[in-house]
A and B are shown apart, each in its own frame.
Chain A
Amino acid sequence: MHLLCAASVAGCDPRSRNGSGGSVVTFSGSALGTEGAVVRRQIARFMAQHPGLRVEIQPTPDDATQRHQLYVQWLNAHAGAPDILQLDVVWTPEFAAAGWIRALDRFAAPRDSFFPATVEANVWAGKLFAIPWFVDVGLLYRRTDLTPHAPTSMAELVQLAREGTIAPNGARYGIVWQGARYEGLVTVFLEYLGGFGGRIMTDDGRVVVDSPEAIRALTYMRDAIYGSRIAPQEVLTWHEEEARFAFQNGSAVFMRNWPYAYSLLATARDSRVAGKFAVAPMPAAPEGRPTAALGGAQLALNAYSRVPDSAYAVIAYLTAPAQMLERAEVVGQFPTRPALYDDPRLTSALDVPPADARRAIESATPRPVIPIWTQLSELLQIQLHRSLARQTSPDDALQTAARQMNALIERTRVRELMAGTVRADR
Chain B
Amino acid sequence: MNRQWLVDAGVLLAGVTSGIASGMFGIGGGVILVPILGLLLGFTQHRAQGTSLVALIPPTGLLAVIQYAKADYVSWQTGLLLIPGLFLGGIAGGHLARRIPAARMRRIFAALMFLLGIWQVFSAFRG
The answer to whether A and B belong to the same complex is no
